[in-house]
């Protein structure tokens, strides 16, 4: 994918989906100072870099709980690519993510100076506190509309056929966890092209995402991400 802005948008949209839950208390307990590291792997199983998260701030705003995550992305050689922070609020069993805050401010300033206008909309992803095998979950989507120098571009990501397949034990370098396996279809539409993928997400109560795998529509593995270290 040669468009650097588009690549960054898609990366952060999927990251945002991984952390946007219907209730942040059961799967993602918010505690200042907690850290999580994920190692990314390519289709051949070779390390492709890491993503480090730190819960830097948890506060109350009215009846909502708001958490700020600091995020740092490094490549496979350990070189820092960029760092940013984003926040989400949890109120009445619903989490809302500030998707625009996901993108590095320096990058956004650069594109803003070039005349880029961006609008982000969509349907929040939902995950009930009580999961069970065979349970079907609501669809979700996000659309990013961009305009620059009279050129318009829309990127939409739809998550459909979301389902809790089963409970199973998953082991990574961070330990062994009892997880819920959630499967879904992902459809990305942009610049006249449609990209269809399937994904698997393993979630553990009290920790969050343990592992995630992405597949082409034909079932071939594209990449995976695993929890490699955490400290609550």
C-alpha–C-alpha distance, residues 10 and 163, integer Å: 22
Of 79, 16, 73, 50, whose CA–CA distance to 173 is shortest? 50
Q: pLDDT per residue over 150-179, tens digit each?
A: 888 888 888 899 999 999 999 999 999 999
C-alpha–C-alpha distance, residues 194 and 198, integer Å: 13
- How high is the pLDDT of residue 161? 94
Q: What CATH number has the domain spanning 4-231?
A: 2.40.360.20
pLDDT for residue 109 is more than 70: no
Q: Pseudo-torsion of CA 182, 156, 146, 79, nearest 10°?
A: 40
The answer for 5, left when phi > 0, alpha when psi is -120 to 50, beta otherwise, is alpha
User: Which residues, 6 or more positions from 155, have their beta carbon under 8 angstroms from its beta carbon?
Assistant: 6, 9, 10, 13, 143, 144, 146, 188, 189, 190
- How high is the pLDDT of residue 119? 77
- How high is the pLDDT of residue 179? 95
Q: pLDDT per residue over 78-92, tens digit each?
A: 898 878 777 777 776
69 neighbors 86 (Cβ within 8 angstroms): yes
Q: Are strands 221-231 and 208-216 parallel, antiparallel or unpaired?
A: antiparallel
pLDDT for residue 210 is more than 90: yes
> Could you give phi then psi for residue 5, rounded to 5 degrees?
-65, -45
Burial of residue 159, with CB atoms counted within 10 A of its CB: 0-12 exposed, 13-18 middle, 19 or more buried: buried
Q: pLDDT per residue over 38-78, tens digit each?
A: 999 999 999 999 989 898 888 888 888 788 888 888 988 88
Token pair of 103 as six digits = 């993108």
C-alpha–C-alpha distance, residues 71 and 56, integer Å: 10
- How high is the pLDDT of residue 92? 65
Q: Which residue did the predictor score with more confidence, 195 or 232? A: 195
pTM for the full predicted model: 0.80
**DSSP-assigned states of every residue in 21-47:** -S-TTTSS---TT-EEEEEEEETTS-E
C-alpha–C-alpha distance, residues 89 and 95, integer Å: 5
């Amino acid at each position: 994918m040669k468009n650097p802005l588009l690549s960054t948008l898609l990366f952060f949209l999927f990251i945002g989906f991984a952390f946007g839950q219907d209730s942040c208390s059961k799967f993602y307990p918010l505690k200042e100072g907690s850290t999580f590291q994920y190692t990314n792997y390519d289709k051949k199983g070779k390390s492709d870099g890491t993503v480090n998260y730190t819960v830097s701030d948890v506060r109350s705003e009215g009846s909502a709980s708001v958490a700020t995550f600091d995020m740092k992305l490094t490549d496979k050689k350990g070189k820092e690519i960029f760092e940013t922070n984003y926040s989400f609020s949890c109120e009445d069993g619903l989490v809302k993510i500030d998707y625009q805050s996901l993108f590095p401010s320096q990058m956004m300033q650069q594109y803003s100076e070039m005349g880029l206008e961006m609008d982000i909309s969509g349907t929040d992803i939902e995950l009930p506190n009580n999961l069970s095998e065979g349970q079907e979950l609501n669809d979700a989507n996000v659309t990013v509309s961009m305009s620059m120098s009279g050129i318009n571009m829309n990127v939409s990501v739809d998550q459909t056929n979301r389902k809790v397949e089963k409970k199973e034990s998953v082991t990574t370098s961070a330990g062994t966890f009892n997880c819920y396996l959630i499967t879904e279809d992902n459809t990305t539409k942009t610049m006249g092209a449609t990209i269809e993928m399937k994904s698997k997400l393993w979630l553990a109560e009290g920790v969050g995402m343990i592992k995630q795998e992405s597949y082409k529509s034909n079932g071939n593995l594209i990449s995976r991400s695993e929890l490699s270290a955490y400290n609550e």
